[in-house]
Amino acid sequence: MTSATTLKRLTLLPLAGLTLAACSGGGGGGSDEATEDIDLRMTIWTSNEDHLALFDAIADDYMADHPEIASITFDPLPFDDYTSTVTTQLAGGSPPDMAWILENAAPDFVASGALMPLSDTLEATEGYDVDDIAESAASLWTQDDELLAYPFSTSPFVTFVNNDLLAEAGLPGAAQMRSEGDWTWEAVSDAGSTVAQETGESGFVIRDFDYLNWDYLSTVWNGWGAEPWSEDGTSCTFDSPEMVEAFDFLHDAAFDAGSMPGPGSSADFFAGEAAFTVTQISRANLLPEDGFEWDLLPLPEGPDGEYAVTGQAGVGVLQSGPNPQASAEFLAHFTNAENGADLAEYFPPPRTSLLTLDVMADANPLLTPEQIEDVVIPGIADGVVRPSHTDAVQIAQQTRASLDDLWTEDADIPAVLEQTCGAISPLLGSDT
């Protein structure tokens, strides 16, 4: 991924042209100056036919009332190379008008000046109600009180539970664990260890972690009140006492208790191979129709108490794109409350007015009303977004390499975490 500094360099020349166009009375440069035949393009990372059909329907509705818009194209890009492809297009002088942005790329795009401020356009759109967007959802995409991207999808991390495996191991179901005050990480690990011993299946799985994608472990360490770096992003806190305790727990689960698959092992909860998995609510579609008895609970409590974590994607307008103002106006339509309710079927909304049982029940037909009210809605409203920072790829590479030393049976956890801080500290705040 391109860093904020590189993004600044990539956007400098186009932004200079944008400024000149504005000074000469233009509406933002490119085909925005024309009154018709505007073609808009949004890069996305889904090629799901149902998603695309919904996007096209929203676009068709907009174009029916805006004859100046000739076409709106949703351009799917491969997920693994998504951010690098967008920045390559930016570097090559052919940026999209709009782009989805991953949460780990958000700080680079926000800090670089690559994104067009949206607040004025959204506030000027009749009935839009910018204040309806939850502050917690918007914080990653806001700079100096200016919204730079709409938090398009705010998907909470939750715990799916295989009650059949718990019963086979002679254990109570998840709901009973919670009602008896045993919905904690320690209790989940104890139950997972028993499941592994009694059934041969796995205990708990942090989905997508795989001893590679360390930031998914924020779904655990947040329960200890741990963070990888300070709030302003300039100081490494991987070596804090809270983080050491959290990794002590994870290391014990993998190597001593056997409640979590160790390095080189894997288990698919949705295939019935684990008792618990932590993953995003959007994975509910993987539940087998005629499989095991399952339940849905919040993340287990840690020593620091209850907490919630979300994954997030934003949609922003590229300032150097061909049609920034026209794009911002379409984005206002794409993300208004009415369309947000339709999009909620696939993408959990950031609007507080849509965080209701009726809307979320329609969007999540597999879930019970109690699960929606008790787990999904609070997770969206109160969740902290997974860790992100400028120079995200470089930081991720250094962190992963350092944490590799943690996943051995005799690892010196405080020393490894101190080593991790030594590796990433030069990168923290480097783009400020």
Q: What is the DSSP code string of 213-225? A: -GGGGHHHHGGGT
Residues 400 and 381 in one domain: no
95 in a structural domain: yes
Which region among 3-7, 267-271, 320-324, 408-412 has the lowest average model confidence (pLDDT)?
3-7
Average the pLDDT over 24-46 and give the result: 66
> Measured between alpha carbons, how far is 249 from 101 in angstroms, rounded to an integer?
33
Long-range contacts of 56-61 (CB under 8 A, 24+ apart): 58/333, 58/334, 58/339, 58/342, 59/330, 59/334, 61/333
Q: Determine the pLDDT at residue 5.
A: 54
Per-residue confidence band for 8, with pLDDT thresholds at 50, 70 and 90? low
**Shared-domain flag, residues 174 and 242:** yes
Q: Does residue 432 lie within any of the structural domains?
A: no
Contacts of 275 by beta carbon, 8 Å cutoff, 6+ apart: 161, 162, 165, 166, 169, 191, 192, 195, 201, 202, 203, 204
Q: CA–CA separation, 295 vs 158, rounded Å?
A: 11
85 phi-psi bin (left φ>0, alpha ψ -120 to 50, beta other): alpha
**Cα 53 to Cα 157: distance, rounded to the nearest angstrom:** 27
**What pLDDT, on a 0 to 100 scale, did the predictor assign at position 12?**
41
Taking the C-alpha atoms of residue 84 and residue 33, their distance in angstroms, rounded to an integer, is: 29
pTM: 0.81
Q: What is the mean pLDDT of residues 289-301?
A: 93
Whether pLDDT at 398 is above 90: yes
* 390 contact partners, CB below 8 Å, separation of at least 6: 3, 4, 107, 108, 111, 233, 430, 431, 432
Q: What percent of the chain has pLDDT over 70?
A: 91
211 assigned to some structural domain? yes
Q: Would residue 390 count as lying in a domain?
A: no
- The pLDDT of residue 148 is 97
Q: How far apart are CA 162 and CA 195, in angstroms?
A: 11
Residue with tokens 């695309």: 52
* 18 — pLDDT class (breaks 50, 70, 90): very low
Report the pLDDT value the prediction gives residue 432, as an integer from 0 to 100.
Answer: 35
Residues 178 and 116 in one domain: no
Is 6 a residue whose pLDDT tops 70?
Answer: no
- 267 and 402, same domain (yes or no): yes
Residue 284 and residue 225 share a domain:
yes
pLDDT band for position 202 (50/70/90)?
very high
184 plus 301 within the same structural domain = yes
Residues 340, 418 within the same domain: no
The pLDDT tens digits of the residues spanning 180-192 come to 999 999 999 999 9
Residue 343 belongs to some domain of the structure: yes
Are 108 and 14 members of one domain?
Answer: yes
Least confident of 208-222, 271-285, 353-367, 412-426: 353-367
Mean pLDDT of the region 215-228: 97
Per the CB < 8 A criterion, the answer to whether 171 and 189 are in contact is no
Q: What is the pLDDT of residue 137?
A: 86
Residue 194 pLDDT greater than 50, yes or no:
yes
Total domains in the chain come to: 2
Structure confidence at residue 381 (pLDDT):
82
Domain that holds residue 229: 156-309+395-427
Residue 114 shares a structural domain with residue 138: yes
pLDDT at 20: 27
pLDDT interval class at 429 (50, 70, 90): low
CA-based max dimension of the chain: 75
Domain-located, residue 297:
yes
- 117 and 206: one domain? no
Give residue 390's pLDDT band: very low, low, confident or very high (50, 70, 90): confident
pLDDT value, residue 430: 42
pLDDT of the residue at 4: 54
Q: To 10 degrees, what angle do helices 49-65 and 324-334 make?
A: 110
User: Is the same domain home to 144 and 191?
Assistant: no
Mean pLDDT score, 119-134: 95
The proportion of the chain whose per-residue pLDDT surpasses 90, expressed as a percent, equals: 71
**Positive or negative torsion for Cα 52, 346, 294, 280:** positive
- Same-domain check for residues 319 and 305: no
What are the residues facing 98 on neighbouring strands? 42, 317
CATH code (residue 374)? 3.40.190.10
User: Does residue 289 lie within any of the structural domains?
Assistant: yes
pLDDT band for 81, please (50, 70, 90 cuts): confident
In a domain, 101, yes or no: yes
Kindly report, residue by residue over 133-167, the tens digit of the pLDDT.
988 889 999 999 999 999 988 889 999 999 999 99
Q: Taking 60 as the threshold, does the pLDDT of residue 253 lie above it?
A: yes
Instruction: Supply the pLDDT for residue 145.
Output: 93
Q: What mean pLDDT is reported for the chain? A: 89
